[in-house]
Structure 1
Amino acid sequence: MNVSVPSTVSIDSGLTRESAPRPVAQAERIQTIDIVRGFALLGILMMNIPYFGLSFTAIHRFYTVPSDTLDFRTLTVVSVLFEGTMRALFSMLFSAGMLLFMAKKDTPVDGYGMPDYYYRRLFWLILFGVFNAYILLWPGDILYTYGVCGLFLFPFRKIRPQTYLLIALFCVTVSGVKSFFGAMENKEKRDGYTQALQLEKQKKPLTDEQKKAKEAWLTWEKNFKYDKKKEEEANKTMRGNYRTIFASYIPLNTKFESTRFYLDFVWDAWALMFLGMALFKWGFFSNQLSTRTYFLTLLAGYGFGLTFGWFGFQYLVAWFTDPGKVLDADSFPFQLFYHIRRAASAIGHASLLLLIYRSGVVNWLMKALANVGQLAFTNYLMQSIICTLFFYGYGLGYFGKLSYYELYYVVGAVWLFQLIFSAIWLHYFRFGPFEWLWRSLTYWKRQPMLVQQ
């Protein structure tokens, strides 16, 4: 299958400049990027759906149900194959899109140049993220994180792919070190608890410090144990009205967009963004590499990613069953390789898609995924709108009423709707409704919407 990319893109020399800042025209789109983005967009709902429809304690419960149940089998497949990988692909493609945007020639129009439009674009993305979290009531929003992290990408737009890779490894290292010290703190809590138990068995009195150590562990361990009362309280809240749910999510949204962002999310996003920039400049996402290379990246990505995904899942099952036993066993810390294994699996997914695209076997499916990817911004926010209306109390109120595997019937229905919607919408319009709004706000000018305009 003959493959070409737009003439405006030059992978080896960075990116060729366009005449002036403006939205990407249909003829200039890189179809393979839209295909992978569409796949990631649909796939990310698989990871988000449990948090749309179940409380945190209910999700933890499914790690400890019998292994022959549909719930556990579904959890196993989704966790091993897809956990973290869709967000990884989204992050990589976001930074690739930023490189494409930064390739626009810096020719001032009405006093504004490419950097102005770049930062304005991200400013509006941050506000869209706040809208998704606080108005649509989806605390799992990623737009805010991408918007803030994207602000720091601009100075790195012209460096070599190898440097991007080194920066990505640095971010992974920082995240790994933070996780390691967190694990050590948990280990210290556990050790303090076991020492207190030993003293109690010996009928020796505990000091105030030892009593606090024992209580600290029990309080911490309780967070990972299923609590039916806590689940019922969460279900009641989430089946309430908009005001009730809004109030209950304020602390969580505030935490996610402040302390959790600066402690965790920023390193997660940057690691995958810089990796995505390296892969894009190497021509990976634009289908520039050889078939042999994609086949090897498929084998390597799945070989490492799925293997560590399996062991990581078993670690979580043991953890939610008895975290103390896991810490006492000093088992291999598979979770420290979380970012590397999900990046590897994500590259495996993308390689498989690109190989299928090259084969020409299911062109209709590739076109359908490209449509979804072209409307990724609209489809992402649409998932929040559909799922909150389906699960929350101000909609149909199905929160907590479906088992784990039944949630994926909802996923399938949303997928079917978005595949059909995207194809029909693009037949008449150039952009999705939210893409159109975002571009109009970025350029501070109403963009043409109809295909014939």
Structure 2
Amino acid sequence: MDAISTTVPLDSPLIGEGARPTTKADRIQTIDLIRGFALLGILMMNIPFFGLAHTAGPRFFTAPTDSADFKTHLIVSVLFEGTMRGLFSMLFGAGMLLFMAKKDTLADGYGIADYYYRRLFWLILFGVFNAFVLLWPGDILYTYGVCGLFLFPFRKMSPRTYLLIALFCVAVLGAKGFFRAMETKERREGYLKAIQLEKQKKPLTDEQKKAKEAWLSQEKNIKYDKKKEDDLNKTMQEGSYATIFSSYVPINTKLESTKFYQSYVWDAWALMFLGMALFKWGFFSNNLPTRTYVLTLLAGYGIGLSLGWLSFWDGVAWFTDPGKVLDSNSFPFQSLYHVRRAASAMGHASLLLLVYRSGVVPWLMKALSNVGQMAFTNYLMQSIICTLIFYGYGFSYFGKLALYELYYVVAAIWLFQLIFSTLWLRFFRFGPFEWLWRSLTYWKPQPMRVKS
């Protein structure tokens, strides 16, 4: 297999023509390959939130260490937590550069900026559709659409500049995390001081009483609450579409407003700008020496998996006894989350590109590329399939499967999407949602059938 044959340089005549979507001949297969891998991997990370209450998380950290749920949680957390969304964010940045590489003035009189912003406007609406119609509170399309609005002025900068911007975004996230940690530490210290005064039989001031209650409230929210999980399970299993919609409206509203501006925007930008740098360096288009990918694999997994392991056990300690963790002043490995996920994501990408270069399992590489070429359709399809499996207006399996059993569902959906994507692309140029998105972007129906 020729690893470079599908790469299209940015100055290619194909990219400089009038307004039209990318054709199959224009595509960079290795980007589709990594995107397909990330798309399937995202389901692996999302499935606990499709099939279980969000309040169930603490019980997997505190489950018996020899249980199937604990082992499953350990493996998934260490190897993949945050990395699939990280890869998706990197590739979104790379994809925006590819789109923006077309001529600024196109044959039909519109500039590339017109199509770029129209494309993102529709992506934002698809995100709202995914969250408020398909009822998936883990939507990322809205975040990517809004964050992408700010990328256009950066399209012609150097990879080094992109990397510096990415580091700045990580620094902002780190500063926000630091101040949150300090607030938590202050609550704990206020609580300990109040307890000490109570032991000495001294009266507490109103401020000291509030400090004590603030920590007790936070500790209660950290600990697993079976009643909360049971109540949510009942709502999701028995609820109609209208009931579940009403339940998720405040959650989705918060995630796409305050939560987005507090953290998601910086999280997405950090990985998008990193992806833009890597793309301009030729990383995703498979243009670097094999030695570079081997070293990136070793460094990425060495840093990412090590921090993943330490962070997981940090989580176990935190959900078992948060007060003890704060009192011990141990190093908070969770604070290196963004370093860890970026490192592991680059390790995953490097491994895929090395396998692709080797020519081993070409059928699997092609199948993953097909999934990646239809990533938009497959992503929304995951929302449709999983909500029908788990929600009350479907088969009502919400909360009925153990954590490890959810991954049987994941495997079945993976198999379906690998087969479906391959068969679909034999007859059509785009996935159905890709076709709709492109038709809306260019404001005219795009040819759908593959010419014989």
Partners of 1:15 and 1:261 lie apart in 2 by: 39
Name the counterpart of 1:314.
313
Residue type of the partner of 2:304?
Answer: G
Residue type of the partner of 2:200?
Answer: Q
Q: Which moved more, 1:429-438 or 1:195-204?
A: 195-204
Checking the alignment, whether the CA contact within 8 Å between 1:15 and 1:103 is kept in structure 2 is: no
Partners of 1:248 and 1:387 lie apart in 2 by: 17
Aligned counterpart in structure 2 of residue 229 of structure 1, from 217, 222, 227? 227
Name the counterpart of 1:373.
372
Name the counterpart of 1:29.
27
Name the counterpart of 1:4.
4
Q: Which moved more, 1:77-86 or 1:211-220?
A: 211-220
Structure-2-length-normalised TM-score? 0.98
Partners of 2:8 and 2:40 lie apart in 1 by: 28
Checking the alignment, whether the CA contact within 8 Å between 1:52 and 1:391 is kept in structure 2 is: yes
Partners of 1:106 and 1:360 lie apart in 2 by: 38
Residue type of the partner of 1:9?
Answer: P
SS in 2 for 1:166: helix
Partners of 1:285 and 1:194 lie apart in 2 by: 51
Q: Which moved more, 1:313-322 or 1:369-378?
A: 313-322
Residue type of the partner of 2:9?
Answer: V
SS in 1 for 2:270: helix
Partners of 2:93 and 2:82 lie apart in 1 by: 17
Partners of 1:262 and 1:16 lie apart in 2 by: 38
Partners of 1:233 and 1:159 lie apart in 2 by: 51
SS in 2 for 1:72: helix
Name the counterpart of 2:363.
364
Checking the alignment, whether the CA contact within 8 Å between 1:9 and 1:16 is kept in structure 2 is: no
Name the counterpart of 1:166.
164
Q: Deviations over 1:29-48 (max 9, x none)?
A: 11100000000000011110
Q: Which moved more, 1:100-109 or 1:219-228?
A: 100-109
Partners of 1:260 and 1:100 lie apart in 2 by: 29
> How far did residue 59 of structure 1 move?
2.0
Name the counterpart of 1:147.
145
Checking the alignment, whether the CA contact within 8 Å between 1:19 and 1:107 is kept in structure 2 is: no
Name the counterpart of 1:338.
337
Q: How does 1:386-425 map to 2 (within 5 A)?
A: 386-425=385-424
Name the counterpart of 2:62.
64
Q: How does 1:8-23 map to 2 (within 5 A)?
A: 8-10=8-10, 17-23=15-21
Q: Deviations over 1:410-440 (max 9, x none)?
A: 1001101100110110011100000000000
Partners of 2:439 and 2:2 lie apart in 1 by: 35
Name the counterpart of 2:430.
431
Checking the alignment, whether the CA contact within 8 Å between 1:8 and 1:15 is kept in structure 2 is: no
Partners of 1:124 and 1:317 lie apart in 2 by: 41
> How far did residue 221 of structure 1 move?
1.2
Question: Structure 1 residues 443 and 323, CA, compared in 2 at 3 Å: closer, same or farther?
Answer: same
Residue type of the partner of 1:248?
Answer: S
> How far did residue 236 of structure 1 move?
1.2
> How far did residue 113 of structure 1 move?
1.8
Question: Structure 1 residues 279 and 8, CA, compared in 2 at 3 Å: closer, same or farther?
Answer: same
Checking the alignment, whether the CA contact within 8 Å between 1:161 and 1:278 is kept in structure 2 is: yes
Residue type of the partner of 2:91?
Answer: L
- After superposing on structure 2, the runs of 4+ consecutive aligned residues of structure 1 that deviate more than 6 Å are 13-16
SS in 2 for 1:112: coil
Structure-1-length-normalised TM-score? 0.98
> How far did residue 60 of structure 1 move?
1.7
SS in 1 for 2:303: helix
SS in 2 for 1:158: coil
Residue type of the partner of 2:62?
Answer: T
Q: How does 1:184-223 map to 2 (within 5 A)?
A: 184-223=182-221
Question: Structure 1 residues 358 and 7, CA, compared in 2 at 3 Å: closer, same or farther?
Answer: closer
Q: How does 1:48-87 map to 2 (within 5 A)?
A: 48-87=46-85
Partners of 1:107 and 1:167 lie apart in 2 by: 28
Question: Structure 1 residues 16 and 111, CA, compared in 2 at 3 Å: closer, same or farther?
Answer: closer
Matched, 1:327 2:301: no
Checking the alignment, whether the CA contact within 8 Å between 2:7 and 2:27 is kept in structure 1 is: no
When the two chains are superposed, the root-mean-square deviation of aligned CA atoms in Å is 1.4
Matched, 1:120 2:118: yes
Partners of 1:125 and 1:423 lie apart in 2 by: 24
Checking the alignment, whether the CA contact within 8 Å between 1:440 and 1:446 is kept in structure 2 is: yes
Checking the alignment, whether the CA contact within 8 Å between 1:74 and 1:404 is kept in structure 2 is: yes
Partners of 1:170 and 1:190 lie apart in 2 by: 30
Partners of 2:13 and 2:93 lie apart in 1 by: 14
Q: Deviations over 1:205-231 (max 9, x none)?
A: 111111111111111111111111111
> How far did residue 204 of structure 1 move?
1.2
Return 5+ residue gaps in structure 1 as ranges.
none
> How far did residue 5 of structure 1 move?
4.7
Checking the alignment, whether the CA contact within 8 Å between 1:14 and 1:158 is kept in structure 2 is: no
Question: Structure 1 residues 15 and 193, CA, compared in 2 at 3 Å: closer, same or farther?
Answer: farther
Checking the alignment, whether the CA contact within 8 Å between 2:17 and 2:106 is kept in structure 1 is: no
Residue type of the partner of 1:158?
Answer: K
Q: Which moved more, 1:301-310 or 1:200-209?
A: 200-209
Partners of 1:14 and 1:351 lie apart in 2 by: 26
Checking the alignment, whether the CA contact within 8 Å between 1:93 and 1:276 is kept in structure 2 is: yes
Residue type of the partner of 2:16?
Answer: E
Matched, 1:297 2:319: no
SS in 1 for 2:61: coil
> How far did residue 14 of structure 1 move?
11
Partners of 1:196 and 1:180 lie apart in 2 by: 24
Aligned counterpart in structure 2 of residue 238 of structure 1, from 220, 224, 236? 236
Return 5+ residue gaps in structure 2 as ranges.
none
Residue type of the partner of 2:21?
Answer: P
